[in-house]
């Protein structure tokens, strides 16, 4: 039998290899916990065991951009969820109105990308981009009953605090860029103040002072001071739940049966620089868009013109901005704006303004919303057509601070109400006085705070409001005028009597009547004047002087007494 033998060198090499393998195996750590705990590094330091990682504990992030703005927004949600039954109520409310949700999200298309970018830049929770849904349904022209305006609903005073210009021509509370800047500044301040986003949002709605006082009350009472623990108005109580409900729907719209508008993860608008005032209509035409679309991106301008001094950049749809720039560069006509601002040097009627600047009065009235019978105070700024008297672009200070101040005209129109105070006669009622002065019985009762069937006491003061025109047509006024005329004619002497210095027969009769008038009880006068509501007779008589007045003292004296008696009657 043939035996195979190994040479000595080969046998030696095999022995070395086997020994090395055995030595390596002897240094492997035991899989038991005890051996793992006693493992040491070559330098003598103890080694900690390595815990196995679960795939569910790992957060996987992608560097690829989100496909739409909603996915991008969801990735930046950072506010703690609010757990309240009110959240479920609002979820059901919005979910039952899918058309409303689609319209609101479609309306946000123009603004959402910019707001999300600003929130990310400030490292703020991106669900705050949903707040304009709660505030205004993303309508930049929204105005509340409390005068809050814009998509972020700034009150006038708060807007001033955050440098939002408000004048007769511009309202930055509606401006897309400026209002967003101010809103995020304010929210950051509130979060720094309260250290809680739910309280910051409550303060945005209710006011920082109100939230601060509510927290202080709870602190003094030893109660918690969280959003759900404070006493607050119902509107504020439901404010954060609305935002939470919209956040939940945006997080999973399919679960609520809601469709969101398809909004790409890219900018909707771009800016274009203007150096001169430009009409809104002309700017829209140069950009190739409708005037309505232009105003949705530039809603701060109230009138038909954009003032370059306060708005050196306008917003335009991304694809339209370059079109506008090209058309503006090629514009050779010179004038871009048909309107400018003119400041009244003194108090003026609108007709005088129109005459001075060579404009149409009705056009000025409509353009500046000036009611009739109003005067323009000095220093007021008016939007006017460009004429030879008003050509220059408006200055920044004029636009930012321009105010239109009006004051009523002092002249009363023919139908302006006149307040009369008359003395009721014996047996007079609301109905009889209303008929005498041609006013409604209900009105007369209301003016005097009495019942419509009330009866007045003799001599009682009764208020009557009449237009100047109707006052001239009442039977009492007409009768008073006739009586005064007869009295004046009768008192006038003939030429012969005047020459001889003799009193007239009527003057003699009047002297006797005057004695009777002086002894009559208060509230009564001569028969002729008793039928007259006062001032008409007095005025007519006073305007009929005659030569006999100076020549004959008895006639003059008597005439004065008759007028005085009439005056007393009127005052009663």
The total of other beta-carbon atoms located within 10 Å of residue 259's CB is 13
Res 419 pLDDT > 70: yes
Q: Where in the chain is the domain with CATH 1.10.530.10?
A: 69-256
Residues in the chain: 572
Beta bridge partners of 466: 418
What confidence score (pLDDT) does residue 334 get? 75
Top-confidence residue, 490 or 267: 267
Ramachandran region, residue 413 (left: φ > 0; alpha: ψ -120 to 50; beta: rest): beta
Top-confidence residue, 547 or 292: 292
DSSP string, 105-163: HHHGGGTHHHHHHHHHHTT--GGGGGHHHHHHTT-TT-B-TT--BTTTTB-HHHHHHTT
Res 39 pLDDT > 90: no
Cα atoms found within 13 Å of the Cα of residue 480, Cβ hemisphere only: 25
What confidence score (pLDDT) does residue 24 get? 47
Minimum mean pLDDT among 44-58, 84-98, 127-141: which range?
A: 44-58
CA-CA distance, 346 to 261, in Å (whole number)? 54
What confidence score (pLDDT) does residue 471 get? 55
What confidence score (pLDDT) does residue 14 get? 53
Backbone angles phi, psi at 474, to 5 degrees: -70, 145
DSSP string, 531-548: TS-SHHHHHHHHT---HH
Confidence of residue 19 (pLDDT cuts 50, 70, 90): low
Minimum mean pLDDT among 150-154, 415-419, 483-487: which range?
A: 483-487
State both tokens at 141.
Answer: 């022209």
Annotated catalytic residue 135: yes
What confidence score (pLDDT) does residue 531 get? 42
For the segment 377-392, the average pLDDT, to the nearest whole number, is 87
User: Using CB atoms within 10 A of its CB, is residue 194 exposed (0-12), middle (13-18) or buried (19+)?
Assistant: buried
Res 260 pLDDT > 60: yes
Q: Are 348 and 210 in contact (CB under 8 A)?
A: no
Q: Pairing relation of β-strands 278-279 and 339-343?
A: unpaired
Q: Are 551 and 545 in contact (CB under 8 A)?
A: no
CA-CA distance, 554 to 561, in Å (whole number)? 11
What pTM does this model have? 0.63
What confidence score (pLDDT) does residue 502 get? 52
Confidence of residue 479 (pLDDT cuts 50, 70, 90): low
The total of other beta-carbon atoms located within 10 Å of residue 495's CB is 8
Q: Which CATH architecture has domain 339-408?
A: Roll (3.10)
Q: Where are the beta strands (DSSP E) in 432-554?
A: 461-467
For the segment 225-254, the average pLDDT, to the nearest whole number, is 98
Top-confidence residue, 542 or 226: 226
- The secondary structure element, H or E, covering residue 483 is helix 475-491
What confidence score (pLDDT) does residue 553 get? 39
For 298, which DSSP code?
S
Catalytic residue among 91, 118, 127, 135: 135
Res 61 pLDDT > 50: no
Question: Nearest to residue 444, comparing CAs of 426, 425, 462, 422?
Answer: 462
Confidence of residue 31 (pLDDT cuts 50, 70, 90): very low
Q: Where in the chain is the domain with CATH 3.10.350.10?
A: 339-408, 418-466
What confidence score (pLDDT) does residue 443 get? 87
CA-CA distance, 405 to 408, in Å (whole number)? 10
What confidence score (pLDDT) does residue 421 get? 84
419-457 as b/e: b if 16+ CB within 10 A: ebebbbbeebbbeebbebbbbebeebbeebebeeeeebe
Confidence of residue 497 (pLDDT cuts 50, 70, 90): low
- The secondary structure element, H or E, covering residue 342 is strand 339-343
Confidence of residue 554 (pLDDT cuts 50, 70, 90): very low
If DSSP states are collapsed to H, E and C, what string results for 424-441?
CCCCCEHHHHHHHCCCCH
For 286, which DSSP code?
H
Q: With H, G, I as helix, E, B as strand and everything else as coil, classify residue 420.
A: strand
For the segment 216-238, the average pLDDT, to the nearest whole number, is 97
Top-confidence residue, 165 or 465: 165
State both tokens at 108.
Answer: 């946000």
Q: What is the pLDDT of residues 172-218, one digit of tens each?
A: 999 999 999 999 999 999 999 999 999 999 999 999 999 999 999 99
Mean pLDDT, all residues of the chain? 80
Top-level class of domain 69-256: mainly alpha
CATH T-level assignment (fold) for domain 418-466: Membrane-bound Lytic Murein Transglycosylase D; Chain A (3.10.350)
């Amino acid at each position: 039998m043939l035996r195979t033998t190994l040479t000595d060198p080969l046998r030696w090499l095999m022995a070395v290899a086997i020994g090395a393998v055995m030595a390596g195996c002897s240094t492997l750590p035991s899989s038991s916990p005890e051996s793992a705990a006693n493992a040491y590094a070559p330098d003598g330091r103890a080694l900690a065991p390595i815990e196995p990682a679960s795939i569910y504990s790992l957060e996987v992030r992608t560097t690829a951009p989100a496909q739409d703005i909603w996915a991008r927004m969801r990735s930046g949600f950072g506010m703690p969820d609010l757990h309240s039954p009110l959240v479920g109520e609002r979820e059901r409310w919005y979910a039952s109105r899918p058309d409303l949700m689609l319209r609101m999200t479609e309306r946000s298309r123009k603004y959402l990308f910019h707001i999300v970018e600003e929130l990310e830049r400030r490292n703020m929770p991106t669900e705050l981009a949903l707040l304009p849904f709660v505030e205004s349904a993303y309508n930049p022209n929204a105005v509340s009953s409390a005068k809050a305006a814009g998509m972020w609903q700034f009150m006038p005073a708060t807007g001033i605090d955050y440098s939002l210009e408000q004048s007769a021509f511009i309202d930055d509370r509606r401006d897309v860029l400026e209002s967003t800047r101010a809103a995020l500044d304010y929210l950051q301040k509130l979060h720094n103040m309260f250290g809680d986003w739910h309280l910051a949002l409550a303060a945005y709605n209710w006011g920082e002072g109100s939230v601060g006082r509510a927290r202080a009350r709870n602190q003094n009472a030893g109660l918690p001071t969280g959003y759900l623990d404070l006493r607050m108005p119902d509107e504020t109580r439901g404010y954060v739940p609305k935002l939470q409900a919209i956040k939940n729907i945006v997080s999973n719209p399919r679960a609520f049966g809601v469709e969101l508008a398809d909004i790409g993860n890219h900018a909707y608008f771009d800016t274009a620089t203007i150096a001169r005032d430009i009409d809104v209509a002309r700017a829209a035409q140069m950009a190739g868009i409708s005037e309505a679309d232009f105003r949705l991106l530039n809603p701060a301008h109230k009138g038909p013109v954009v003032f370059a001094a306060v708005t050196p950049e306008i917003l335009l749809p991304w694809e339209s901005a370059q079109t506008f720039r090209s058309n503006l560069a090629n514009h050779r006509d010179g004038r871009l704006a048909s309107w400018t601002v003119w400041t009244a040097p003194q108090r003026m009627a609108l007709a005088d303004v129109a005459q001075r600047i060579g404009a149409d009065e009705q056009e000025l009235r409509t353009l500046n919303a000036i009611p009739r019978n109003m005067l323009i105070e000095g220093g007021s700024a008016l939007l006017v057509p460009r004429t030879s008297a008003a050509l220059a672009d408006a200055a920044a200070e004029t636009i930012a601070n321009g105010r239109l101040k009006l004051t009523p005209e002092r002249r009363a129109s023919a139908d302006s109400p006149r307040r009369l105070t008359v003395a009721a006669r014996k047996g007079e009622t609301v109905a009889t006085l209303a008929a005498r002065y041609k006013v409604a019985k209900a009105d007369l009762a209301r003016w005097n705070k009495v019942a419509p069937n009330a009866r007045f006491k003799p001599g009682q003061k009764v208020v009557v409001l009449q237009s100047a025109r109707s006052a001239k047509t009442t039977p009492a006024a007409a009768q008073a005028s006739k009586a005064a005329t007869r009295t004046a004619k009768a008192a006038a002497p003939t030429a012969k009597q005047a020459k001889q210095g003799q009193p007239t027969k009527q003057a003699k009769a009047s002297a006797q009547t005057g004695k009777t008038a002086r002894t009559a009880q208060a509230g009564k006068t001569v028969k002729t004047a008793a039928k007259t509501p006062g001032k008409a007779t007095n005025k007519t008589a006073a305007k009929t002087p005659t030569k006999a007045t100076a020549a004959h003292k008895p006639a003059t004296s008597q005439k004065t007494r008759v007028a005085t008696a009439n005056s007393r009657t009127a005052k009663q």
